[in-house]
Structure 1
Amino acid sequence: MKILKHYKNPYVEQSTLPIILIVLFVLLSEKNFLLFHSIVEIFAVIISFSLALIALGTVKISEGSYFTYIGISYGFVGVINIFHILTYKGINLLASDPNISTQLWIFQRYFEVASLLISFYFIDKKVNYKRLIAIDTIIVSFFIKIILNTDIFPECYIDGQGLTVFKIYSEYIICILFAYIIYLYYKDGGKHIKYNYVFLIYSMVFKIAGEYIFTLYIGVYDSLNTTAHLLNFISFCFLYKALFKSTITDPFSTVFKNLRDKAEELEKSNEEILKAKEKLEAEYERYKKVLNFLPEGIIIVKDEKIVYCNCKMLELIGLNPTDNLIDKSIYSIVEQEFHESLKLILNNDEELKDKSLEYKLKLMHKSCDVEISYLYMDDKEMSYYVFAVRDITDRKKAEEMRNIIAQKKKEEELNNEFFSNVSHELKTPINVIYTALQLENRYIDTLGTENIKKYNKIIKQNCLRLIKLVNNLIDITKIESGFFQPKLKVKNIVSIIEDITLSIVSYAQYKNINIIFDTDSEEVYVKCDEDLMERIMLNLLSNAVKYGKQGGVINIRIYNPKENFVTISIKDDGIGIPENMISKVFERFEKVDSSLSRNNEGSGIGLSIVKSLVEIQNGNIAIKSKVNEGTEFLLTFHEEEDKDITIMVNMERYTYEKNMIEKADIEFSDIYA
């Protein structure tokens, strides 16, 4: 079955009411022309006022000022038309002369056509509607007053004779001007006035036709006058249609069309956004799987807050995959001692850039060592840090085990070297003593006194050597256990060093070594243990003699390197120390020549004890040396202002010097003359 659809023609619907009104007006004109004239003109007035109200109501939303200007002007056309109605022949409310009504009609036509011409000026310009209303009010009021109260305005109608020449030619001029307006509309072609210019042209055509017919009637109630008024009514209908469509229908249609277009665009955009969202979510899940697959923990930090972490990161700090670190402070999972370095990273410290740092993470009951690498990201939307966290707990444990093994190995090597040195140092003097005693026993009857003294001297020297070794072992044990306590007193260090230097002159003479003692001041006081200073100086001087050149020089100097400090320099011109061994000479059992066939004897613990004895007196020891040029030891102590004015009596001085010689004998016991 075929269904027929009925389509409505909008032009037919819109023209129905005007046609009905025209038919009614024609019928009414035949019955009562005066009533017909009044109703037709009232309709024209209503349309004029409607146009004015529409124009004023759409000033803010109107795209241009063209139709605003026309609407306001037609409001004043309606005002003039009211006066025309009230002065029309038969109404006679304001005047009884039909000429006045005709004059008002001509003035209305001139005002209308002038307004239409001026309106083209405002196609691309804004009109000040308040100023326009004021100007039109002045003009209309002025001419109405002239027409009603004076004879200045030219006559347009003479009762019994008809229209005047002025009226007829005015209508022709008005027709020409309306025709020119049609030309202007046609020339514009809808560029500025858009599609409604067609209705304006129709309106102007009917106005021209009406104006021409208005030049033909003789009597006020002629049929030609009726026709002209109907044509004028039709022109007003087209004008209303044009203005209403331009200011109300078209803008809102455009708005609704734009809204529909925007709605369609938004719908399409929404669909695209949904697709993009789905794609992003899929990408996010893929990247999330990749990040969770990585063997390293990943944290993203923004403004010191954690905004993302993968499953491995949760595992590192002992959390379940269902637990959450989001929005927690990055500092909350890092040990306190590492907060400062972490703060430097978050402040973009250039020194830490592209470096891997070691931290300790903690959360509740679990902690672990980690290595952190980071990447700073700064884009237009946000800036953040990406941290890659690697668990190095096992590596740390392995390093600790390696360090322990290395330490144990070193200790074993030290022990082996110690026992080797001690056995050598013990066996050598014992063998010498034993050999000397055997010789004495074998040749005791034949040996003279001098030979016995010689062998006894050898026995004594080696006994002293054993005493020195035992003393060193005891002292190093005391120092390690913390039982070695110095007896610090303020002493004149110059006097102490000078006495020690004098006590070893005889040993230096064995190698023709010249000893030079020099001081910047005769009295320099430091807080020290005198016995320990003797041990220190005797050890350093014995090394200077032992490793000094035959016929060389040993310089001992006391001076002030800077205020409140004193330095003791012991410098020889001997064999020196290789550069790679300088940092090791103060280590226990370390010797430049550790072979059993070495030229000079020694256990390798003397300088280690010297360093310890200097430091427990709040001093400092340093070394300078070059191979074949010599070695210099520098002892630095804080200078004191308080002075010990103790003076030794002769007996005490004798005992002190005797003890000094005995100590020197012990310290120099491994140097054989």
Structure 2
Amino acid sequence: MNFFMKNSRIKEFIESYYSIILITIILLLVSLTNLVNFLLFHTITELFSIVIAISIFIIGWHTRKYANSQFFVRFGIGAIFVAIIDLLHTLSYEGMGIFTNYDANLPTQLWILARYIQATSFLIAIIPFTFEKSTYFLILIYIITTSIFLTFIFTGYFPDCYIVGVGLTPFKIISEYIIILLLVIAIIILYTYKKEFSKEISILVILSLISTIISEFAFTLYINVYGISNFIGHIFKILSFFFIYVGVIQLGLKDPMRVLFKQLKEREASLNQAYNRTNFYKNLFAHDINNIFQNIISSLELYDLEENNIQKYHDNINNQIVRGKKLVKNVIKLTELDDYKEELKKINLGKTLTNAISFLKESYSNKNIEIDFNLPEERIEIQANELINDIFENILINAVKYNQDNTIKIKLKISVIKQKNQKYAKIQFIDNGIGIHPSRREKIFETDFQKTSKTKGLGLGLSLVKKAIDLYNGDIWVESRVEGDYEKGSNFVILIPLAEWD
């Protein structure tokens, strides 16, 4: 048992430090080649970076549809062009004997071009902008840019970077510092937008950027292409690409699988919610519409029996039709409310409440309704939209529906309060209805799609009210009209932000 436990711990240790062990072995072997032949060391170092750059492009490109971040897709596109230029740099290096008509200036020019593109690629990849064109358009930009500068280099129009017997030119040294500056800017931008990246990826990218900075600084110091500064610069170049490669494996291969499974689970949850929502609307609509039809049928039956009360039953039928229209309207609005994006505007609170009161009295002309409402002298404007009419109408209609008194009394109170540096209009709808038990006060605003069997109807209106007020960044709750005795009636309190004056 202890043997297996030890083996398990060894395996965990190896997996945890696999990258560190691997890069240490690589650096050790590559450094040993420098003792044998610098040209061999240089070639292996460059080919290692080239292979990694190509791998970054391949993985980033083929996982672009699944990765949450576009970093490795964008950087990978730049990396493939860096790899092409680095390959030319390797083949043109002094001692390779391929570009025989050029001296050590050519590989140095190619090097500086590759580093400019690499630094620019870091910036393009890190900045979280939305690229409206396709990634193919980005590739086209790289093709055109790279082709132009390669033409300048091979035709002699690119500034000299190295003069045999003298060393690095001012242009080359200044360019290295400009590249270092671009990389520092990339680190600052990465820190600014760190929320766009996972902690592991951020660390790996920063390590890659720091390694590249050290590498570039080393390349400002050498006089001979076979010098120690050149050696150090190439070692840190390996580290730079290695850190990015580890990040690509993490984000490009492991994360897409996690993202894929996450998306499948989210889709499953979404389908289940849609199914439950459909059942909820079906049961709720069926319950309320059945009540409406039943009331209409009852009125028609009594219509023939009591000729003296024809107007009463006519009004009742009319009220039920109004209820039906309102129910259909609310169902449609509630189903669309999650995607409702109408711009908020200034709404005259007093005028809107007056219209809602008129609608209520017209809808329940057969009821004895007393409404205590005095328009405030000061004009109050709130930040809302057309849904505000439905909100007030729903609250008022519920005050009538859930009231058993012969005289239905509703009192409206308006005030202005301030909370957390925001001014709100506070509207209170106080009625003498049957009241709401304290244990149900929060549940009446919920749209519980899971408990369709317990649906009693009419909760749809308050679900709409709650969702609409959330759109306004407002609030709604219910209290007892008489503290300690919920059966004496309810007080629905609504807070809606005041509109800002221009």
Cα distance per residue 1:95-145 (max 9 Å; x no partner): 431101001101111121122223344444455211111111111011111
Corresponding position: 1:191 with 2:195: yes
Say which SS state the counterpart of residue 191 (structure 1) adopts.
helix
Instruction: Please give the residue correspondences for 1:169-318 in structure 2 after superposition, counting only pairs within 5 Å.
Output: 169-188=174-193, 190-195=194-199, 196-256=201-261
Q: Distance in 2 between matches of 1:115 and 1:103?
A: 18
**Aligned with residue 165 of structure 1, among 166, 170, 186:** 170
Mapped partners of 2:196, 2:107: distance in 1:
37
* Distance verdict in 2 for CA 1:122–1:94, change over 3 Å: farther
Q: 2 CA distance for matches of 1:75 and 1:102?
A: 19
Amino acid at match of 2:209: M
- Summarize the Cα distance change of 1:4–1:262 in structure 2 as closer, same or farther, 3 Å threshold: farther
* 1:311-460 superposed matches below 5 A: none
Q: Aligned to 2:93, what secondary structure does the other structure show?
A: coil
What's the counterpart of residue 51 of structure 1? 56
Secondary structure of the structure 1 residue equivalent to 2:226: coil
For residues 547-581 of structure 1, give each alpha carbon's deviation from its aligned partner in whole angstroms, at most 9, with x where no partner exists: xxxxxxxxxxxxxxxxxxxxxxxxxxxxxxxxxxx
Equivalent pairs, count: 291
Pairs within 5 Å for 1:120-131: 120-131=126-137
Contact 1:214–1:224 (8 Å) recurs in 2: yes
Cα RMSD of the aligned pairs, angstroms, is: 4.1
What TM-score comes out, normalization by structure 1 length?
Answer: 0.38
Tell me the distance in 1 between the aligned counterparts of 2:152 and 2:198.
39
- Provide the residue aligned with 2:148 in structure 1: 142
Partner amino acid for 1:53? I
Partner of 1:75 in structure 2? 80
* Separation of aligned partners in 1, 2:265 and 2:124: 37
More deviation, 23-32/200-209 = 23-32
Bigger Cα Rg: 1
The offset of 1:350, in angstroms, is 9.3
1:101 to 107, 113, 126: 107
* Aligned 8 A contact 2:105 2:160 in 1: yes
* Preserved CA contact (<8 Å) 1:98 1:157: yes
Distance in 1, matches of 2:29 and 2:133, equals 39
Give distance in 1, aligned partners of 2:124 and 2:299: 77
Deviation per CA, 1:25-82, whole angstroms, max 9, x where unpaired? 0111111221221121112111112222223223333435443221111111111111
Q: How many angstroms apart in 2 are the aligned matches of 1:352 and 1:184?
A: 73
Q: Which amino acid letter does the alignment assign opposite residue 162 of structure 1?
A: G
Q: Deviations over 1:269-302 (max 9, x none)?
A: 9xxx9xxxxxxxxxxxxxxxxxxxxxxxxxxxxx
Equivalents in 1 of 2:51, 2:161: separation in Å?
A: 26
CA distance in 1, matches of 2:266, 2:173: 54
SS of aligned partner of 2:99: coil
Worse-superposed segment, 94-103 or 230-239: 94-103
Contact 1:69 1:127 in 2 (8 A): no
Q: Work out whether 1:111 is the aligned partner of 2:123.
A: no
Out of 104, 123, 133, the position equivalent to 2:139 is 133
Matches of 1:133 and 1:236 in 2, distance apart?
A: 20
CA deviations 1:569-597 (Å, max 9, x no partner) are: xxxxxxxxxxxxxxxxxxxxxxxxxxxxx
Distance in 2, matches of 1:235 and 1:127, equals 29
Q: Distance in 2 between matches of 1:131 and 1:59?
A: 15
Q: Partners in 2 of 1:353 and 1:217 — Cα distance?
A: 105
**Going by fraction, where is helix more abundant, 1 or 2?**
2
Matched-pair identity in %: 34
Out of 94, 100, 112, which is 1:89 matched to?
A: 94
Equivalent position amino acid for 1:145 in 2: T
Could you tell me how far apart the structure 1 residues matched to 2:182 and 2:20 are? 27
Paired AA for residue 147 in structure 2:
S
**For 1:85, what is the secondary structure of its paired residue?**
helix
Unaligned 5+ residue runs, structure 1? 274-347, 356-377, 381-673
CA contact (8 A) 2:66 2:259 kept: no
- Tell whether the 8 Å contact from 2:66 to 2:260 is kept in structure 1 after alignment: no
User: What TM-score results when the alignment is normalised by the length of structure 2?
Assistant: 0.50
Partner of 2:310: none
User: CA shift at 1:222, angstroms?
Assistant: 1.7
Query: 1 CA distance for matches of 2:125 and 2:169?
Result: 30
Structure 2: gaps spanning 5 or more residues: 277-295, 304-323, 329-502
Q: Check whether the contact 2:126–2:190 (CA below 8 A) recurs between aligned residues.
A: no
Q: Tell me which amino acid in the other structure corresponds to 1:116.
A: F
- Per-residue CA deviation, residues 433-469 of structure 1 (Å, 9 max, x unaligned), is xxxxxxxxxxxxxxxxxxxxxxxxxxxxxxxxxxxxx
Instruction: Supply the AA of the counterpart residue of 1:232.
Output: K
1:123–1:12 Cα change, 3 Å: farther
Within 5 Å, which residues of 2 pair with 1:635-654? none
1:155 partner SS? coil
Contact 1:65–1:126, Cα closer than 8 Å, also in 2 = no
In 2: Cα distance, 1:67 partner to 1:53 partner:
10
Tell me if structure 2 keeps the 8 A contact 1:64–1:125: no
Matches within 5 A, 1:32-43: 32-43=37-48
1:341 is matched with none
Structure 1 residues 193 and 127: alpha-carbon distance in aligned structure 2, compared to 1, 3 A threshold: farther
CA distance in 2, matches of 1:354, 1:209: 94
Q: What letter is aligned with 2:17?
A: V
- Shift in alpha-carbon separation, 1:241–1:102, aligned structure 2, 3 A: same
Structure scoring higher RCO (CA < 8 A, sep ≥ 6) equals 2
Counterpart in the other structure of 1:391: none
SS for the counterpart of 2:210 is: helix
Q: Is the 8 A contact 2:68 2:259 kept in 1?
A: no
C-alpha separation between the residues in 1 aligned to 2:301 and 2:81?
81
For residue 142 of structure 2, what is the amino acid of its counterpart?
D
Matched residue of 2:196: which SS?
Answer: coil
In 2, the alpha carbon distance for the partners of 1:124 and 1:248 equals 23
Cα distance in 2 for residues equivalent to 1:205 and 1:146: 30
In the alignment, is the contact (CA less than 8 A) between 1:65 and 1:125 conserved in 2? Answer: no
Partner amino acid for 1:115? S
Structure 1 residues 647-669: Cα deviation after superposition (integer angstroms, max 9, x where no partner): xxxxxxxxxxxxxxxxxxxxxxx
Cα deviation for residue 213 of structure 1 reads 1.1
| Structure 1 pair 132–18 and aligned structure 2 pair: CA distance change class (3 A) | same
In the TM superposition, what is the alpha-carbon distance from 1:249 to its structure 2 partner?
2.0
Q: For residues 599-625 of structure 1, what are the alpha-carbon distances to aligned partners after superposition, in whole Å with 9 as ceiling and x for unaligned? A: xxxxxxxxxxxxxxxxxxxxxxxxxxx
Distance 1:52 1:126, change over 3 A: farther
Distance 1:259 1:132, change over 3 A: closer
Aligned to 2:68, the other structure's residue is in SS state: coil
